[in-house]
A = this chain, B = another copy of it.
Amino acid sequence: MGRRSAPASSLPLLLIAAFAALNATPLDLATAAGEDAARISGFRAGDVAAERAREAQVAATTRPDTLRRHLRILTEEPHVAGTPADLKTAEYVRQRLAAYGWDAHIEAVPVYLNYPGEPVLEMIEPSREPLAVREHGAAWDKDAYDSEVFSAFHGYGADGEVTAQVVYGNYGDVDDLKRLTDLGIDLHGRIVLVRYGRIFRGLKVRNAERAGAAGVIIYSDPLDDGFARGDAYPRGQARPSDAIQRGSVQFLSEAPGDPSTPGWPSAPNAKRVAREAMQGVPKIPSIPIAWAEAQKIMEALEGPVAPTGWQGALPLTYHVGPGPAKIHLKTEQHYAIRPIWNVIAKLAGRESPDQWIMCGNHRDAWTYGAIDPNSGTITLLEMARGIGELAKKGWKPRRTIVLASWDGEEYGLLGSTEWCEANAVTVGANVAAYINVDVAVSGKDFRANGTHQLRDALVEVLGEVPDPGRNVSVAKSWRDRGFTDGKADWSRLNRERRWRGEPERPFQMDVTPLGSGTDYTAFIDHLGVPSLDVRFEGNQGSYHSMYDDFEYLDRVVDPGYAYHRAMVDVWSRLTLRFAEAEVLPLHYSSTATFVLDELRAIEDRADDANAGVEDAAKRLTADVAPARTAATRLLDAARVFEQRSDQALAGGAWPAGSAAAANAALIKVERAFLGAGLPSRTWFRHEIYAPGINTGYAGVPLPRLGQAVLDKDPAAYREGVEPLRQAIERATAVLEAAK
């Protein structure tokens, strides 16, 4: 799906576990290549040079023309999941991976999904006017002109027909719709017009449906990804006035995957839930539109002026209605069980073939998918070629590397979710880390979402990759940007630490806690696999529109493919290090520190939520000390384990008695955070990471407590401490047993 919102956590940029080179002086390339050259986490000093040489070889293999050729082929046709064009891309990817020396095959998965008929969308009051349900295209771009792209529709959208007055509902989140109610505006039977952004689109439809609306129109406001963010395509990469954001309206934070097989694999003869009984998909019709069409509706809304913060960048005063704008909307969905095609490729490990490092990227697209996801697919293919070259010269990794080209991600992470459900035991036993790239490049700003034990390995890698736009490492670019954004918070947090008598911390970058929206979801949330998602990010104005095509990427976003080459470099170094390290660089001291910090942040947010609340029964109060004590013990255990591992690499004795046992223990730690499932969504089993139930994309870490504060739910807050404590103690026990 390839798009992120800001995390709900208050501490996205502030870092935590120490990596010495980044502390006081920013790391530049010279430093990285110089004094730190002696160290890669998990490697003996004597093995570092050979590892670096392999990584440099892959980087040297990467070529812009290969990347560009892959892109031209993959984006030749729109390739929605399950279509013949999609199958063609699966065959191309399988064939390329095989040619690069990988053991590659296609796995078809039968899933339930919809293709659209031609929708009807017209304003009938105050005047009759049809509204566009297709982009008009650009004459000079063959893809954006002679288009086989589907008309405006939503994946998992409902069939339906409605004629009703319109109400404007801002981003359509729970608070927005409550605000309308407070203004005395009834949504029952009405069509809600909301803008994209802030939360996952399926939750906008869910919220409107639960508020009684009869239909939903979602438009892309130019404030969020249009001209207010930069020049529109083709002058720049912001959204043109006619570009429509297609996308899934599954209730992603409640359950991803095929909604006809919730929690079990979509095998050919699987039991399936009937459409009427399906959870997590809308019952009211919805449609996406471009801002030029939305403007026509907004111009015909009266009623109260929209509340502060609801005004977008259309050149008019936003009103909430209802009406006088009245819309006739008819959607037609062709649902069926259709095959989608994951491509899985392996390079078997020489020493620990049952320990897997897995890399994934989806391949299906709403249109041509140049940025989303094929910028990632060409990166995957180029990485596979580079690593394949190493293998052809006789090298084999210590562990098995598995590459996945997922299908059906756009509809609801179908390929990865169903594959994880079908291979749950193997994944649980084998996969040491999962590294996802969805959109590889939509701009110049490096971003990482992940689980925190991976942070140190990531930062080490970033220190060695040159930023294509500056004469410094990606680590330094990332840190400089993070420091600009996060300096004020960092300074305040240190001041608070002084007041509490705690030591100050140096500024450091960290991964952003995982939410959802792409294929790591089943790995981390359902199966407890350490996961990372990396990208170079910018304003992705072509997102899910017809303009997400070859010309957009090739002319505007990354001409020269320098950022794609940098992403191949980042991804392949990460993969090679996890595949080759003598001890897996999984640092649970980082995880424990994150948990401690997040507990503090949640307590502060609870305190804020209590401000002015006189009724004791409505105040959020809980004794979180048991969770904090548990996390402190985890921190101690992890530090001992990490220290002993380092000593072993320097010639000392192994924790757990052997390298094999140490690695086996490390793989088990994250699984220990899985519990019985979160309230109202038991498929989500992780006690540290989850998407917000009302955000979809953004994570709400320590989800029982974090969500309880957002929901202002005192009982959930009190009851959330114990399952968290237990999960942390299970993880601690794994590490302590291995000391």
Contact = CB atoms under 8 A, between A and B. Distances in A.
A499 B610 CA distance: 18
A507 B612 contact: yes
Interface stretch (A78-86, A488-496, A561-569, A585-593): A488-496
Nearest to A226: B317
A625 B311 CA distance: 46
Contact of A238 (B313, B314, B317): B317
Interface stretch (A229-237, A279-287, A360-368, A709-717): A229-237
Contact of A227 (B228, B316, B492, B611): B316
B495 A607 contact: yes
A3 interface: no
Interface in A411-440: none
Contacts of A487: 608, 611-612
Nearest to A227: B317
A315 interface: yes
A183 interface: no
Interface residues of A, number: 32
Contact of A496 (B231, B314, B496): B496
State the oligomeric state as a number of copies. 2
A351 interface: no
Contacts of A30: none
Contacts of A607: 491, 495
A236 B305 contact: yes
B227 A488 contact: no
A611 B488 contact: yes
A315 B314 contact: yes
A612 B491 CA distance: 9
A470 interface: no
Contact of A499 (B228, B317, B500, B612): B500
Contacts of A222: 315
A483 interface: yes
A227 B612 contact: no
A493 to B, nearest CB: 11
A317 B232 contact: yes
Nearest to A603: B495
Contacts of A313: 313, 315
Interface string A485-516: 00110111001100110000001000000000
Contact of A311 (B228, B311, B315): B228
Contact of A230 (B317, B483, B495, B496): B317
B500 A227 contact: no
B231 A305 contact: yes
A305 B612 CA distance: 43
Contacts of A232: 317
A231 B319 CA distance: 9
Q: Which of A232, A236, A491, A500 has the most CB of B within 10 A?
A: A491
A604 interface: yes
A70 B315 CA distance: 38
Contacts of A496: 496, 499
16 contacts: A228-B311, A236-B305, A236-B317, A314-B315, A315-B315, A483-B612, A487-B608, A488-B608, A488-B611, A491-B608, A492-B604, A495-B604, A495-B607, A499-B499, A499-B500, A507-B611
Interface of A: 222, 227-228, 230-232, 236, 238, 305, 311, 313-317, 483, 487-488, 490-492, 495-496, 499-500, 507, 604, 607-608, 610-612
Closest 9 CB pairs of A and B: A499-B499, A491-B611, A315-B315, A491-B608, A227-B317, A231-B317, A487-B611, A499-B500, A228-B311
Given A228-B311, A231-B317, A315-B315, 11 more contacts: A222-B315, A230-B317, A231-B305, A313-B315, A487-B612, A488-B611, A492-B604, A492-B608, A496-B499, A507-B611, A507-B612
